[in-house]
Structure 1
Amino acid sequence: MLLRCLRWLRAKVVQRAERLLLHVLAAGPIPKHVAFVMDGNRRYARMNHKAISQGHSDGFLTLRRLLEACLRLEIRCVSVYAFAMDNFRRSPEEIDHLMHLAHDKLRELSQHGDILEQYGVRLNVLGKTSLLPEYVQEAIRHVESITRNNDRCVFSTPVSARKAELVVTAILNIHMSYSAQDEIATAVESAIHISLDNPSDIHITEKDVEDQLFTSLSRSPPLEVLVRTSGVKRLSDYLLWQCNENTQIHFVSAYWPDFGLWDFVPIVLNYQRKAWGK
């Protein structure tokens, strides 16, 4: 009994310390858009002698924790790479588990009182969703519909005076059945169709293409920080257009399910140091 009480007390102390840390960090410059390549679920599972499906489930818990931390930091937009188009090459059993996990967790996120409603977050699922099973598409339509009118984030910490004048929309982009090359090709195709409506001035610029990207259509701010876990140093066809000269890219050795606040804090501090150095 005593040991249980001590564990409870330790958890409460850690929780309060983390909230205080987030409150302090939020007083400095904060990126408007952070993206995560959630890599390493399978290697984490093998290392911990767990089923691959459990590795993916543990990864979702990490997503919830990191999303709440980002919202407490007043980060306006969070994007996550949940399922690449190339992932359809995996075993049918793993794909089936991932699809059912996506369905169940999308439904969970959309429940009354859950994190999206609590913080006023608008959720977008970006990618070629027509390739996903119909029951997943139905869950996507449901959660996008009920969060569509979320246009002001309810932060847990007081909004600073310099931010109070702004209407802040919190956005969670989940990229599923996604490929950056497909996104760019789709954007170019859309830009061409739009230009054909004015045949007297057919001229496509970079901005025309950028305006048709999934992230632009979802009204996401420019990408400022991208984090990839598991120690792999490549983008793997994720947000290739959005990763520009102003995007800070961080490769972290921790597997995604093990990635936590204390891995993320140095990344935020690095962003602040560079922002103050400008």
Structure 2
Amino acid sequence: MGVKHATVYAFSIDNFRRDPHEVQALMDMVIANIDQLLKGDRLFMKLDVRIIFWGNLELLTDPVRVAAKKVMDMTVHNKGPVLSVCVAYTSTDEITHAIEASVRERREKVQIDVSDLERNLFTACRLC
């Protein structure tokens, strides 16, 4: 079909406001789906799909973060379509993160330009 990029939203940061049991159930679901990817016939490898997780991954449980990193590392050199999975993600958190990182980089220089923000977005150059 010629699709080069697809993005799915798996878990918003706002979901952390849910009941802790619900959050844990959602984390368990995320890890189960990642495990399914890793244990299955690895169709994503046959199709040369690159998988990227976008978001504040530090907010995830250790098993989910480790599994996400494993999938990203496994597919980092794939040249086919890109599947982006937004997890622990909101656009406002991404913008805030980019601004904070830009300010940390430029302590002496208070002026921030668009390239500073672009470089520090979760989505920066991961599709390049």
The residue number in structure 1 matching 2:3 is 75
Q: 1:39-97 deviations in whole A, cap 9, x for unaligned?
A: xxxxxxxxxxxxxxxxxxxxxxxxxxxxxxxxxx2221111111111111222332222
**Do 1:110 and 1:117's aligned partners in 2 also have CA atoms closer than 8 Å?**
no
Match of 1:195 among 106, 116, 119: 106
Instruction: Letter of the 2:26 partner, please give it.
Output: L
Match of 1:100 among 28, 37, 42: 28
Instruction: Letter of the 1:90 partner, please give it.
Output: R
Shift of 1:138: 1.6
Q: Which has the higher contact order (CA 8 A, sep 6+)?
A: 2
Larger radius of gyration: 1
Instruction: Letter of the 1:192 partner, please give it.
Output: V
SS at match of 2:73: helix
Q: Unaligned regions of 5+ residues in structure 1, if any? A: 1-72, 154-169, 221-278
| Whole-angstrom CA distance in 2 between matches of 1:202 and 1:90 | 38
Q: 1:9-66 deviations in whole A, cap 9, x for unaligned?
A: xxxxxxxxxxxxxxxxxxxxxxxxxxxxxxxxxxxxxxxxxxxxxxxxxxxxxxxxxx
Count of aligned pairs between the two proteins:
128
Q: 1:93-139 deviations in whole A, cap 9, x for unaligned?
A: 32222111111111222346323212111111111111111111121
TM-score if structure 1 supplies the norm length? 0.42
**Identity value in percent:** 29
The residue number in structure 2 matching 1:145 is 73
The residue number in structure 2 matching 1:209 is 117
The residue number in structure 1 matching 2:63 is 135
SS at match of 2:115: helix
Trace 1:1-20 onto structure 2 (pairs within 5 A).
none
| Whole-angstrom CA distance in 2 between matches of 1:97 and 1:202 | 43
| Whole-angstrom CA distance in 1 between matches of 2:114 and 2:41 | 41
Shift of 1:202: 5.5
The residue number in structure 2 matching 1:274 is none
Instruction: Letter of the 1:210 partner, please give it.
Output: E
Match of 1:186 among 93, 97, 105: 97
Shift of 1:171: 1.3
**Do 1:123 and 1:148's aligned partners in 2 also have CA atoms closer than 8 Å?**
yes
Trace 1:157-196 onto structure 2 (pairs within 5 A).
170-196=81-107
Q: Unaligned regions of 5+ residues in structure 2, if any? A: none
The residue number in structure 2 matching 1:120 is 48
| Whole-angstrom CA distance in 2 between matches of 1:184 and 1:127 | 11
| Whole-angstrom CA distance in 2 between matches of 1:202 and 1:133 | 35
Q: 1:149-187 deviations in whole A, cap 9, x for unaligned?
A: 21x21xxxxxxxxxxxxxxxx211111111211100111
Instruction: Indicate the RMSD between aligned Cα atoms, in angstroms.
Output: 2.0
The 3 A distance-change label for structure 1 pair 202 and 88 is closer
The residue number in structure 2 matching 1:248 is none
SS at match of 1:120: coil
